[in-house]
Structure 1
Amino acid sequence: MKILIGQPKKEENLEQLSFELKTNSSVDLIIYPEGYCQKTDLEKVSYLAEKFKTAIVMGYKDNQNLDRALIINNNGKVILDRAKTPEIKTLYTPSTTQDNGIQYGYLLCREVFLGLEGLKNENSINIIFNPIGVGMFSEEQYSDWSGEAKQISIQQKSIVIGTSHADGSYRNCGFSIPIAFCFDETGEVILLSKNDTRTRILDTVTKTVEVIDSIVKSH
Protein backbone atom coordinates (compact mmCIF):
# COMPACT_ATOMS: atom_id res chain seq x y z
CA MET A 1 0.00 0.00 0.00
CA LYS A 2 1.26 3.48 -0.84
CA ILE A 3 0.27 6.39 1.39
CA LEU A 4 0.91 10.04 0.60
CA ILE A 5 1.71 12.08 3.71
CA GLY A 6 0.97 15.73 2.94
CA GLN A 7 1.73 18.92 4.85
CA PRO A 8 -0.24 21.55 2.94
CA LYS A 9 -0.57 25.20 3.78
CA LYS A 10 -4.01 26.22 4.94
CA GLU A 11 -6.08 26.97 1.87
CA GLU A 12 -9.65 27.38 0.71
CA ASN A 13 -9.82 25.65 -2.66
CA LEU A 14 -8.36 22.16 -2.08
CA GLU A 15 -5.57 23.22 -4.43
CA GLN A 16 -2.78 21.06 -3.06
CA LEU A 17 -5.02 18.05 -2.47
CA SER A 18 -6.23 18.20 -6.07
CA PHE A 19 -2.69 18.62 -7.37
CA GLU A 20 -1.29 15.71 -5.40
CA LEU A 21 -4.11 13.39 -6.42
CA LYS A 22 -3.59 14.27 -10.10
CA THR A 23 0.18 13.82 -10.03
CA ASN A 24 0.48 10.69 -7.87
CA SER A 25 -1.64 8.02 -9.54
CA SER A 26 0.14 5.16 -7.73
CA VAL A 27 -1.02 6.34 -4.29
CA ASP A 28 -3.72 4.31 -2.52
CA LEU A 29 -4.42 6.75 0.30
CA ILE A 30 -3.68 10.35 1.26
CA ILE A 31 -3.42 11.64 4.84
CA TYR A 32 -3.83 15.39 5.36
CA PRO A 33 -4.01 17.49 8.54
CA GLU A 34 -6.85 18.29 10.90
CA GLY A 35 -9.12 21.12 9.73
CA TYR A 36 -7.81 21.11 6.16
CA CYS A 37 -11.18 21.86 4.59
CA GLN A 38 -14.73 22.99 5.34
CA LYS A 39 -17.96 21.01 5.43
CA THR A 40 -18.95 22.69 2.18
CA ASP A 41 -15.91 21.02 0.53
CA LEU A 42 -16.88 17.46 1.40
CA GLU A 43 -18.81 16.76 -1.77
CA LYS A 44 -15.75 17.73 -3.80
CA VAL A 45 -13.43 15.68 -1.58
CA SER A 46 -15.63 12.62 -2.12
CA TYR A 47 -15.67 13.30 -5.86
CA LEU A 48 -11.87 13.50 -5.95
CA ALA A 49 -11.49 10.28 -3.93
CA GLU A 50 -13.76 8.42 -6.35
CA LYS A 51 -12.27 9.99 -9.47
CA PHE A 52 -8.69 9.11 -8.56
CA LYS A 53 -9.55 5.88 -6.69
CA THR A 54 -7.65 7.13 -3.65
CA ALA A 55 -8.85 7.03 -0.04
CA ILE A 56 -8.58 10.34 1.83
CA VAL A 57 -7.95 10.80 5.56
CA MET A 58 -8.11 14.29 7.08
CA GLY A 59 -10.05 16.56 9.39
CA TYR A 60 -12.56 19.25 8.47
CA LYS A 61 -14.43 22.18 10.01
CA ASP A 62 -18.19 21.90 10.46
CA ASN A 63 -20.70 24.74 10.15
CA GLN A 64 -19.84 25.90 13.69
CA ASN A 65 -16.10 25.90 12.84
CA LEU A 66 -15.57 22.85 15.05
CA ASP A 67 -13.21 20.06 14.02
CA ARG A 68 -14.35 16.66 12.84
CA ALA A 69 -12.54 13.47 11.85
CA LEU A 70 -12.99 12.17 8.31
CA ILE A 71 -12.12 9.12 6.22
CA ILE A 72 -13.45 8.72 2.68
CA ASN A 73 -12.70 5.48 0.84
CA ASN A 74 -11.60 5.17 -2.78
CA ASN A 75 -15.20 4.88 -3.93
CA GLY A 76 -15.99 8.32 -2.49
CA LYS A 77 -17.93 6.86 0.45
CA VAL A 78 -17.58 8.39 3.91
CA ILE A 79 -16.58 5.58 6.27
CA LEU A 80 -15.77 7.75 9.31
CA ASP A 81 -17.16 11.15 10.32
CA ARG A 82 -17.24 12.23 13.95
CA ALA A 83 -16.62 15.20 16.21
CA LYS A 84 -13.30 16.02 17.85
CA THR A 85 -13.03 15.97 21.62
CA PRO A 86 -14.03 19.41 22.98
CA GLU A 87 -11.13 21.07 24.80
CA ILE A 88 -12.90 21.17 28.17
CA LYS A 89 -14.05 17.55 28.04
CA THR A 90 -12.38 14.22 28.64
CA LEU A 91 -10.75 12.92 25.48
CA TYR A 92 -12.99 10.79 23.31
CA THR A 93 -12.21 7.14 22.78
CA PRO A 94 -10.27 6.68 19.54
CA SER A 95 -12.19 5.59 16.46
CA THR A 96 -11.74 2.46 14.38
CA THR A 97 -13.18 1.52 11.01
CA GLN A 98 -12.34 -0.86 8.19
CA ASP A 99 -12.33 -0.82 4.43
CA ASN A 100 -11.28 -3.44 1.88
CA GLY A 101 -9.98 -5.71 4.61
CA ILE A 102 -7.79 -3.03 6.23
CA GLN A 103 -8.54 -2.00 9.81
CA TYR A 104 -7.90 1.68 10.54
CA GLY A 105 -7.53 3.57 13.79
CA TYR A 106 -8.05 7.33 14.02
CA LEU A 107 -6.79 9.80 16.64
CA LEU A 108 -7.68 13.41 15.85
CA CYS A 109 -4.92 15.78 16.97
CA ARG A 110 -4.43 15.68 20.78
CA GLU A 111 -6.52 12.51 21.03
CA VAL A 112 -3.17 10.79 20.47
CA PHE A 113 -2.72 11.12 24.24
CA LEU A 114 -5.68 8.79 24.79
CA GLY A 115 -4.40 6.26 22.29
CA LEU A 116 -2.63 3.91 24.69
CA GLU A 117 -5.69 3.55 26.91
CA GLY A 118 -8.39 3.90 24.28
CA LEU A 119 -6.97 1.37 21.83
CA LYS A 120 -5.55 -1.21 24.24
CA ASN A 121 -8.45 -3.65 23.74
CA GLU A 122 -8.54 -3.24 19.95
CA ASN A 123 -7.05 -6.02 17.88
CA SER A 124 -5.73 -6.25 14.34
CA ILE A 125 -5.50 -2.52 13.59
CA ASN A 126 -3.25 -2.17 10.56
CA ILE A 127 -2.76 1.61 10.39
CA ILE A 128 -3.48 4.39 12.91
CA PHE A 129 -3.86 7.96 11.65
CA ASN A 130 -3.17 11.13 13.64
CA PRO A 131 -4.10 14.24 11.63
CA ILE A 132 -2.81 17.34 13.48
CA GLY A 133 -3.94 20.93 12.96
CA VAL A 134 -0.82 23.07 13.23
CA GLY A 135 2.72 22.22 14.21
CA MET A 136 4.15 21.87 17.69
CA PHE A 137 4.47 24.95 19.91
CA SER A 138 7.71 23.76 21.55
CA GLU A 139 10.50 21.21 21.22
CA GLU A 140 9.16 19.53 24.35
CA GLN A 141 5.72 19.10 22.80
CA TYR A 142 7.35 17.71 19.66
CA SER A 143 9.17 15.07 21.73
CA ASP A 144 6.09 14.22 23.81
CA TRP A 145 3.82 13.93 20.78
CA SER A 146 6.11 11.77 18.67
CA GLY A 147 7.02 9.69 21.73
CA GLU A 148 3.35 8.97 22.41
CA ALA A 149 2.78 7.93 18.80
CA LYS A 150 5.74 5.57 19.02
CA GLN A 151 4.38 3.90 22.15
CA ILE A 152 1.01 3.41 20.46
CA SER A 153 2.66 1.72 17.48
CA ILE A 154 4.46 -0.69 19.82
CA GLN A 155 1.37 -1.46 21.90
CA GLN A 156 -0.93 -1.98 18.92
CA LYS A 157 1.68 -3.50 16.61
CA SER A 158 0.41 -1.03 14.02
CA ILE A 159 1.83 1.59 11.69
CA VAL A 160 1.14 5.07 13.12
CA ILE A 161 1.16 8.11 10.81
CA GLY A 162 0.73 11.77 11.71
CA THR A 163 0.98 15.08 9.87
CA SER A 164 0.33 18.79 10.47
CA HIS A 165 -0.14 21.83 8.27
CA ALA A 166 2.94 23.57 6.92
CA ASP A 167 1.83 26.89 8.39
CA GLY A 168 -0.15 28.32 11.31
CA SER A 169 0.56 28.22 15.02
CA TYR A 170 -1.27 27.14 18.15
CA ARG A 171 -3.70 29.93 19.10
CA ASN A 172 -1.64 32.20 16.85
CA CYS A 173 1.26 32.17 19.31
CA GLY A 174 3.65 32.85 16.43
CA PHE A 175 5.78 29.74 16.91
CA SER A 176 5.26 26.45 15.13
CA ILE A 177 7.22 23.30 14.33
CA PRO A 178 5.51 21.53 11.40
CA ILE A 179 5.61 17.80 12.03
CA ALA A 180 5.18 14.54 10.13
CA PHE A 181 5.94 11.06 11.40
CA CYS A 182 5.53 7.37 10.76
CA PHE A 183 6.43 4.50 13.08
CA ASP A 184 6.26 0.86 12.06
CA GLU A 185 4.65 -1.99 14.00
CA THR A 186 7.69 -2.28 16.29
CA GLY A 187 8.07 1.43 17.03
CA GLU A 188 10.95 1.88 14.59
CA VAL A 189 11.09 5.26 12.89
CA ILE A 190 10.19 5.28 9.21
CA LEU A 191 9.70 9.05 9.13
CA LEU A 192 10.22 11.68 11.82
CA SER A 193 10.50 15.23 10.54
CA LYS A 194 10.20 18.74 11.87
CA ASN A 195 10.36 22.01 9.95
CA ASP A 196 10.44 20.01 6.72
CA THR A 197 7.13 20.26 4.91
CA ARG A 198 7.91 18.26 1.79
CA THR A 199 5.37 15.70 0.66
CA ARG A 200 6.29 12.04 1.16
CA ILE A 201 4.99 8.73 -0.14
CA LEU A 202 5.20 5.79 2.27
CA ASP A 203 5.37 2.23 0.96
CA THR A 204 3.93 0.11 3.77
CA VAL A 205 5.40 -3.10 2.32
CA THR A 206 9.03 -2.00 2.01
CA LYS A 207 8.79 0.52 4.91
CA THR A 208 10.46 3.17 2.80
CA VAL A 209 9.59 6.83 2.25
CA GLU A 210 10.04 8.77 -0.99
CA VAL A 211 10.17 12.56 -1.05
CA ILE A 212 8.27 13.96 -4.02
CA ASP A 213 7.82 17.31 -5.73
CA SER A 214 4.68 19.10 -4.62
CA ILE A 215 2.82 22.27 -5.46
CA VAL A 216 4.64 25.48 -4.56
CA LYS A 217 3.18 26.53 -1.19
CA SER A 218 3.11 30.24 -1.82
CA HIS A 219 -0.64 30.79 -1.71
Structure 2
Amino acid sequence: MRILIGQPIHEKQIEQMKEAIKANDRIDLVLYPEGYLSDEKALEEACKVAKDYKVTIVSSYRKDNKDRAVIISCDGKKIIERAKTIPDENVELYDPLTVNYNNNTIGYILCMEILKARRDLKRVEEKIDFIVHPIGVGMFSEEQFEQWVREAKAIAQTYKTIVIGTSHADGSYRNCGVSIPISYCIENNGEPIFISKSDTRTRIVDLNTRKVEIIE
Protein backbone atom coordinates (compact mmCIF):
# COMPACT_ATOMS: atom_id res chain seq x y z
CA MET A 1 0.00 0.00 0.00
CA ARG A 2 1.29 3.45 -0.98
CA ILE A 3 0.20 6.30 1.30
CA LEU A 4 0.55 9.96 0.36
CA ILE A 5 1.10 12.15 3.43
CA GLY A 6 0.34 15.81 2.76
CA GLN A 7 1.01 18.96 4.76
CA PRO A 8 -1.15 21.55 2.99
CA ILE A 9 -1.99 25.07 4.03
CA HIS A 10 -5.59 25.70 5.10
CA GLU A 11 -8.02 26.39 2.27
CA LYS A 12 -11.78 26.49 1.69
CA GLN A 13 -11.57 24.24 -1.35
CA ILE A 14 -9.56 21.05 -1.72
CA GLU A 15 -7.34 22.10 -4.62
CA GLN A 16 -4.08 21.04 -2.96
CA MET A 17 -5.41 17.55 -2.34
CA LYS A 18 -6.71 17.22 -5.89
CA GLU A 19 -3.42 18.39 -7.37
CA ALA A 20 -1.45 15.97 -5.20
CA ILE A 21 -3.63 13.05 -6.28
CA LYS A 22 -3.43 14.00 -9.96
CA ALA A 23 0.36 14.40 -9.81
CA ASN A 24 1.08 11.10 -8.06
CA ASP A 25 -0.29 7.95 -9.59
CA ARG A 26 -0.25 4.51 -7.96
CA ILE A 27 -1.23 5.84 -4.54
CA ASP A 28 -3.81 3.93 -2.52
CA LEU A 29 -4.50 6.29 0.39
CA VAL A 30 -4.16 10.03 1.02
CA LEU A 31 -3.66 11.32 4.58
CA TYR A 32 -4.39 15.02 5.13
CA PRO A 33 -4.62 17.01 8.38
CA GLU A 34 -7.47 17.57 10.79
CA GLY A 35 -9.91 20.16 9.48
CA TYR A 36 -8.47 20.31 5.97
CA LEU A 37 -12.01 19.69 4.73
CA SER A 38 -13.36 23.04 5.84
CA ASP A 39 -17.08 22.22 5.71
CA GLU A 40 -19.63 19.69 4.46
CA LYS A 41 -19.35 21.00 0.91
CA ALA A 42 -15.62 20.25 0.92
CA LEU A 43 -16.42 16.81 2.33
CA GLU A 44 -18.80 16.12 -0.55
CA GLU A 45 -16.13 17.19 -3.03
CA ALA A 46 -13.59 14.90 -1.36
CA CYS A 47 -16.01 11.96 -1.68
CA LYS A 48 -16.27 12.69 -5.40
CA VAL A 49 -12.48 12.89 -5.78
CA ALA A 50 -12.04 9.59 -3.91
CA LYS A 51 -14.47 7.88 -6.28
CA ASP A 52 -13.12 9.49 -9.45
CA TYR A 53 -9.50 8.61 -8.69
CA LYS A 54 -10.14 5.34 -6.84
CA VAL A 55 -8.20 6.47 -3.78
CA THR A 56 -8.98 6.31 -0.06
CA ILE A 57 -8.97 9.70 1.69
CA VAL A 58 -8.29 10.22 5.41
CA SER A 59 -8.74 13.64 7.00
CA SER A 60 -11.38 15.39 9.08
CA TYR A 61 -14.00 18.00 8.35
CA ARG A 62 -15.61 20.94 10.13
CA LYS A 63 -19.30 20.83 11.03
CA ASP A 64 -20.97 23.34 13.35
CA ASN A 65 -17.47 24.69 14.06
CA LYS A 66 -16.28 21.33 15.39
CA ASP A 67 -13.89 18.78 13.91
CA ARG A 68 -15.20 15.38 12.92
CA ALA A 69 -13.25 12.27 11.94
CA VAL A 70 -13.67 10.89 8.44
CA ILE A 71 -12.30 8.15 6.21
CA ILE A 72 -13.64 8.03 2.65
CA SER A 73 -13.39 4.77 0.70
CA CYS A 74 -12.20 4.59 -2.90
CA ASP A 75 -15.82 4.38 -4.03
CA GLY A 76 -16.63 7.68 -2.33
CA LYS A 77 -18.39 6.30 0.78
CA LYS A 78 -17.75 7.50 4.34
CA ILE A 79 -16.55 4.39 6.19
CA ILE A 80 -15.66 6.27 9.39
CA GLU A 81 -17.49 9.43 10.45
CA ARG A 82 -17.68 10.50 14.08
CA ALA A 83 -17.22 13.34 16.53
CA LYS A 84 -13.84 14.21 17.99
CA THR A 85 -13.40 13.02 21.57
CA ILE A 86 -13.58 15.81 24.16
CA PRO A 87 -10.31 16.62 25.99
CA ASP A 88 -11.50 15.51 29.47
CA GLU A 89 -8.99 12.81 30.45
CA ASN A 90 -11.73 10.79 32.13
CA VAL A 91 -13.62 10.43 28.84
CA GLU A 92 -12.53 7.49 26.70
CA LEU A 93 -12.01 7.77 22.95
CA TYR A 94 -15.23 7.77 20.97
CA ASP A 95 -16.06 4.81 18.75
CA PRO A 96 -15.42 3.72 16.10
CA LEU A 97 -11.67 3.55 16.57
CA THR A 98 -11.07 1.22 13.62
CA VAL A 99 -12.57 0.15 10.30
CA ASN A 100 -12.02 -3.08 8.38
CA TYR A 101 -11.40 -2.11 4.77
CA ASN A 102 -9.61 -3.72 1.80
CA ASN A 103 -8.18 -6.52 3.96
CA ASN A 104 -6.74 -4.05 6.48
CA THR A 105 -7.84 -2.98 9.94
CA ILE A 106 -7.22 0.77 9.97
CA GLY A 107 -7.10 2.65 13.27
CA TYR A 108 -8.02 6.33 13.50
CA ILE A 109 -7.06 8.92 16.11
CA LEU A 110 -7.81 12.63 15.64
CA CYS A 111 -5.25 15.21 16.74
CA MET A 112 -5.19 15.39 20.57
CA GLU A 113 -6.81 11.95 20.77
CA ILE A 114 -3.23 10.62 20.53
CA LEU A 115 -2.86 11.43 24.23
CA LYS A 116 -5.56 8.87 25.08
CA ALA A 117 -4.83 6.28 22.42
CA ARG A 118 -2.28 4.14 24.24
CA ARG A 119 -4.80 3.72 27.06
CA ASP A 120 -7.99 3.25 25.03
CA LEU A 121 -6.98 1.23 21.97
CA LYS A 122 -6.96 -1.84 24.19
CA ARG A 123 -10.71 -2.01 23.46
CA VAL A 124 -9.90 -3.06 19.90
CA GLU A 125 -9.90 -6.84 19.74
CA GLU A 126 -8.41 -7.37 16.28
CA LYS A 127 -4.85 -6.63 15.14
CA ILE A 128 -4.57 -3.06 13.80
CA ASP A 129 -2.55 -2.94 10.59
CA PHE A 130 -1.87 0.79 10.77
CA ILE A 131 -3.19 3.89 12.53
CA VAL A 132 -3.83 7.23 10.82
CA HIS A 133 -3.49 10.45 12.82
CA PRO A 134 -4.69 13.72 11.23
CA ILE A 135 -3.34 16.69 13.24
CA GLY A 136 -4.76 20.20 12.98
CA VAL A 137 -1.74 22.51 13.14
CA GLY A 138 1.91 22.18 14.05
CA MET A 139 3.21 21.76 17.57
CA PHE A 140 3.25 24.84 19.81
CA SER A 141 6.60 23.94 21.42
CA GLU A 142 9.58 21.61 21.14
CA GLU A 143 8.30 19.87 24.26
CA GLN A 144 4.94 19.14 22.61
CA PHE A 145 6.69 17.88 19.48
CA GLU A 146 8.74 15.44 21.52
CA GLN A 147 5.70 14.37 23.58
CA TRP A 148 3.54 13.55 20.56
CA VAL A 149 6.35 11.67 18.80
CA ARG A 150 6.99 9.77 22.02
CA GLU A 151 3.29 8.85 22.24
CA ALA A 152 3.23 7.71 18.61
CA LYS A 153 6.24 5.48 19.23
CA ALA A 154 4.67 4.03 22.38
CA ILE A 155 1.38 3.29 20.59
CA ALA A 156 3.23 1.61 17.74
CA GLN A 157 5.25 -0.51 20.13
CA THR A 158 2.33 -1.37 22.42
CA TYR A 159 -0.04 -2.44 19.64
CA LYS A 160 2.60 -3.66 17.15
CA THR A 161 1.24 -1.37 14.47
CA ILE A 162 2.40 1.42 12.16
CA VAL A 163 1.34 4.95 13.16
CA ILE A 164 1.22 7.77 10.59
CA GLY A 165 0.43 11.43 11.31
CA THR A 166 0.46 14.82 9.62
CA SER A 167 -0.40 18.47 10.34
CA HIS A 168 -1.09 21.57 8.25
CA ALA A 169 1.88 23.64 7.12
CA ASP A 170 0.31 26.82 8.48
CA GLY A 171 -1.73 28.00 11.47
CA SER A 172 -1.00 27.69 15.17
CA TYR A 173 -2.76 26.29 18.21
CA ARG A 174 -5.31 28.86 19.42
CA ASN A 175 -3.43 31.40 17.29
CA CYS A 176 -0.52 31.40 19.73
CA GLY A 177 1.84 32.33 16.90
CA VAL A 178 4.13 29.30 17.32
CA SER A 179 3.86 26.32 14.99
CA ILE A 180 6.23 23.43 14.28
CA PRO A 181 4.70 21.50 11.35
CA ILE A 182 4.92 17.76 11.89
CA SER A 183 4.51 14.58 9.92
CA TYR A 184 5.73 11.12 10.79
CA CYS A 185 5.54 7.40 10.16
CA ILE A 186 6.51 5.05 12.99
CA GLU A 187 7.31 1.37 12.43
CA ASN A 188 5.41 -1.31 14.35
CA ASN A 189 8.38 -1.76 16.70
CA GLY A 190 8.39 1.92 17.69
CA GLU A 191 11.29 2.92 15.44
CA PRO A 192 10.84 5.86 13.05
CA ILE A 193 10.39 5.28 9.34
CA PHE A 194 10.58 9.06 9.14
CA ILE A 195 9.91 12.04 11.41
CA SER A 196 9.54 15.46 9.79
CA LYS A 197 9.93 18.69 11.77
CA SER A 198 9.25 22.00 9.99
CA ASP A 199 9.66 20.33 6.59
CA THR A 200 6.31 20.50 4.84
CA ARG A 201 7.12 18.55 1.69
CA THR A 202 4.69 15.81 0.70
CA ARG A 203 5.84 12.25 1.29
CA ILE A 204 4.75 8.88 -0.06
CA VAL A 205 5.36 5.83 2.14
CA ASP A 206 5.19 2.34 0.71
CA LEU A 207 4.04 0.12 3.57
CA ASN A 208 5.27 -2.99 1.77
CA THR A 209 8.88 -1.83 1.39
CA ARG A 210 8.93 0.92 4.07
CA LYS A 211 10.53 3.21 1.49
CA VAL A 212 9.78 6.95 1.66
CA GLU A 213 9.58 9.19 -1.39
CA ILE A 214 9.79 12.96 -0.89
CA ILE A 215 7.87 15.10 -3.37
CA GLU A 216 9.75 18.35 -3.98
* 2:115 corresponds to: 113
Residues 31 and 58, structure 2, Cα contact 8 Å, conserved in 1: yes
Structure-2 separation of matches of 1:183 and 1:87: 24
CA distances 1:95-139 after superposition (whole Å, capped 9, x unpaired): 111111110100100100111111124231101011000000000
Q: Which runs of 5+ in 1 are unaligned?
A: 214-219
Distance 1:7 1:91 in 2: 28
The TM-score, its normalising length taken from structure 2, stands at 0.95
Q: Deviations over 1:68-89 (max 9, x none)?
A: 0000011111100000123457
Same amino acid, percent of matched pairs: 49
- Tell me how far apart the structure 1 counterparts of residues 137 and 100 of structure 2 sit (CA, whole Å): 27
Corresponding position: 1:189 with 2:186 = no
- Asked whether the equivalents of residues 92 and 120 of structure 2 are also in contact (C-alpha less than 8 Å), the reply is no
DSSP-derived class of the 2:44 partner: helix
1:35 to 2:35 alignment: yes
Question: What is the Cα deviation at residue 191 of structure 1?
Answer: 1.1
Question: Quick check: 1:93–1:114 contact (8 Å CA) kept in 2?
Answer: no
Counterparts of 1:121 and 1:33 in 2: how far apart (Å)? 25
AA partner of residue 211 (structure 1): I
Q: Which amino acid aligns with 2:72?
A: I
* Aligned residue in 1 for 2:164: 161
Report the Cα distance in structure 2 between the residues aligned to 1:118 and 1:91, rounded to whole angstroms.
6
Amino acid at match of 2:68: R
Question: In the alignment, is the contact (CA less than 8 A) between 1:182 and 1:192 conserved in 2?
Answer: yes
For residue 122 of structure 2, give the secondary structure of its aligned residue in structure 1.
Answer: coil
Q: RMSD in angstroms over aligned alpha carbons?
A: 1.2
Question: Which amino acid in 2 is paired with 1:196?
Answer: D
Cα shift at 1:67: 0.3
1:76-115 pair list within 5 angstroms: 76-88=76-88, 90-93=91-94, 95-115=97-117
Deviation of the 1:40 alpha carbon: 1.6
Any conservation in 2 of the 1:160–1:184 contact (CA below 8 Å)?
yes
Partners of 1:44 and 1:13 lie apart in 2 by 9
In structure 2, C-alpha distance between the alignment counterparts of 1:11 and 1:65, rounded to whole Å: 15
For 1:68, give the aligned amino acid. R
Partners in 1 of 2:153 and 2:122 — Cα distance?
14
User: Which of residues 150, 156, 160 is equivalent to 2:153?
Assistant: 150
Show the counterpart of 2:73: 73
1:24 aligns with 2:24: yes
- Hey, which bits of structure 1, 4+ residues long, moved more than 6 A? none
Greater CA deviation, 113-122 or 151-160? 113-122
Instruction: Measure, in 1, the Cα distance between the counterparts of 2:192 and 2:87.
Output: 30
Which amino acid in 2 is paired with 1:55? T
Unaligned runs of 5+ residues in structure 2 are none
Instruction: Supply the distance in 2 between the matched residues of 1:163 and 1:176 (Cα, whole angstroms).
Output: 13
